[in-house]
Structure 1
Amino acid sequence: MDIRQPDTPKRPRRLHYGWIVAAVTFAALLAAAGIRSLPGVLMLPLEEEFGWSRSGISAAVSINLVLYGLMGPFAAACMERFGIRKMMIGALALLAAGLLLSTVMNALWQLNVLWGVVVGIGTSVMANVLGVTVANRWFVRRKGLVVGLLTASAATGQLLFLPLLANLSVTAGWRNAVWAAVAALCLMIPVVAKWVRNHPADMGVPPYGSDELVRPAPFAGNLFLQPLLTLRSVMKSGTFWLLAGSFFICGFTTNGLIGTHLIPACGDFGIPEVTAAGLLAFMGVFDLIGTTLSGWLSDRFDSRWLLFWYYGLRGLSLLFLPMALDMGYMELTLFSVFYGLDWIATVPPTVKLASDRFGPAKAGIVFGWIVAAHQLGAAVAAFEAGLLREWFGSYDLAFTMAGYVCMLAALMSIRIKRKLAPAA
Structure 2
Amino acid sequence: MGELNNDQTVADSRQRTHPAWRMTALAAAALLAAGSYTTIAGLITDPLVMNEGWGRADIGIAIAVNMFLYGAIAPFGAAMMDRYGLRIVTTAALGLLAISSTLIITATPTAGWFVLWWGVLVGTGTGCLTMVFGAAVANRWFVERIGLATGILTAASVVGQFAILPLLSELMSQTDWHAPIAACGVLAIGAAVLVAIGLRDSPSDVGSSRLGETAPPRSVSGSPDNAAARTLRVLLTCLHNRRFWLLAGMFFLCGATTNGLMWSHFTPAAHDHGMAPTAASTLLALVGFANVIGTVAAGWFTDRIEPRILLAVFFLIRGLTLGTLPAILTTHIDPPLIAFAVAFGILDVATVPPTISMCRHYFGADSALAFGWINVFHQLGAGAMSLIGGLIRQSDGSYTLVWIAGATLCIVAAALGGTVGSKESVDCRMSRTDTPGDAPETDR
Shared fold, TM over 0.5: yes
Greater mean alpha carbon deviation, residues 126-135 or residues 84-93: 126-135
- Are residue 337 (structure 1) and residue 337 (structure 2) matched? no
The answer as to whether partners of 1:74 and 1:365 remain within 8 angstroms in 2 is no
Counterpart residue number, 1:80? 82
| Residue matched to 2:71 | 69
Find the aligned partners of 2:421 and 2:314 in 1 and give their Cα distance: 12
- Residue of structure 2 in register with 1:402 after alignment: 409
Instruction: Find out whether 1:25 has 2:27 as its counterpart.
Output: yes
Aligned length: 414
Counterpart secondary structure, 2:219: strand
Q: Which residue does the alignment assign to 1:4?
A: none
CA contact (8 A) 2:312 2:417 kept: yes
Q: Deviations over 1:316-373 (max 9, x none)?
A: 423443443379821111111111122213334434544565456x555433312210
- For residue 160 of structure 2, what is the aligned residue in structure 1? 157
Residue 421 of structure 1 and its aligned partner are, at CA, apart by 2.7
* Residue in 2 that maps onto 1:378: 382
Structure 1 residues 19, 402: CA separation in 2 closer, same or farther (over 3 Å shift)?
Answer: farther
Contact conserved, 1:138 with 1:199, CA < 8 A, in 2?
Answer: yes
Per-residue deviation at 1:189? 1.6
* Residue type at the aligned position of 2:127: S
C-alpha deviation, 1:306, in angstroms: 4.9
Q: Which residue of 2 aligns with 1:6?
A: none
**What TM-score results when the alignment is normalised by the length of structure 2?**
0.80
Q: Structure 2 matches for 1:314-333, cutoff 5 A?
A: 314-325=318-329, 329-333=334-338
Instruction: Give the aligned CA root-mean-square deviation in angstroms.
Output: 3.4
Give the secondary-structure state (helix, strand or coil) at the position aligned to 2:225: coil
Cα distance between partner residues in 1 of 2:221 and 2:96: 28
Structure label with greater radius of gyration: 2
Counterpart of 1:39 in structure 2 is 41
Matching residue of 1:3: none
Is the alpha carbon distance of 1:192 and 1:369 closer, same or farther for their aligned partners in structure 2, counting shifts above 3 Å?
same
SS in 2 for 1:173: coil
**TM-score normalised by the chain length of structure 1:** 0.83
Secondary structure class of the residue paired with 2:337: helix
Please, which runs of 5 or more residues in structure 1 have no aligned partner? 1-9
Partners of 1:285 and 1:365 in 2: how far apart?
Answer: 28
1:186 is aligned with what amino acid?
A: I
Q: Give the alignment partner of residue 218 of structure 2, picking from 210, 214, 232.
A: 214
> Partners in 1 of 2:28 and 2:152 — Cα distance?
7
1:168 and 2:183 correspond = no
| Alpha-carbon shift at residue 148 of structure 1 (Å) | 4.1
Aligned equivalent of 2:438? 423
Secondary structure of 2:279 counterpart:
helix
User: Residue by residue, what CA displacement relative to the aligned partner does 1:189-225 show, whole Å, maximum 9, x if unpaired?
Assistant: 2322343232344455554455443222432426765
Q: Where in structure 2 are the equivalents of 1:233-248 lying within 5 Å?
A: 233-248=237-252
Q: Distance in 2 between matches of 1:302 and 1:336?
A: 27
CA distance in 2, matches of 1:292, 1:138: 22
Residues 210, 321 of structure 1: alpha-carbon distance in 2 compared, 3 angstrom cutoff? farther
User: Where in structure 2 are there 5+ consecutive unaligned residues?
Assistant: 1-9, 429-434, 440-444
Deviation at 1:268, TM superposition (A): 4.8
How far does residue 286 in structure 1 lie from its aligned partner after superposition? 1.5
Residue 88 of structure 1, CA deviation: 0.9
Question: 2-side partners of 1:222 and 1:341: how far apart?
Answer: 38
CA drift at 1:81: 1.7
Aligned 8 A contact 1:159 1:280 in 2: yes
1-structure distance, mates of 2:302, 2:147: 6
Residue 293 (structure 2) aligned to one of 281, 289, 307: 289
When structure 1 is superposed on structure 2, of 78-87 and 150-159 the one drifting more is: 150-159
Answer whether contact 1:144 1:296 (CA < 8 A) is retained: no
Relative to structure 1, is the Cα distance of residues 325 and 254 closer, same or farther in structure 2, using a 3 angstrom cutoff?
Answer: same
Once the two structures are TM-superposed, the CA of residue 281 in structure 1 deviates from its matched residue by 1.5
Equivalence for 2:431? none
Q: Deviations over 1:48-77 (max 9, x none)?
A: 444333333332222212221221211121
How far is 1:280 from its partner?
1.1
AA aligned to 1:190 is V
- Provide the C-alpha distance between the structure 2 equivalents of 1:305 and 1:144, rounded to a whole number of angstroms: 24
Kindly tell me: are residues 267 and 116 of structure 1, through their superposed partners in 2, closer, same or farther at Cα, counting changes over 3 Å? closer
CA–CA separation in structure 1 for the residues paired with 2:205 and 2:360: 23
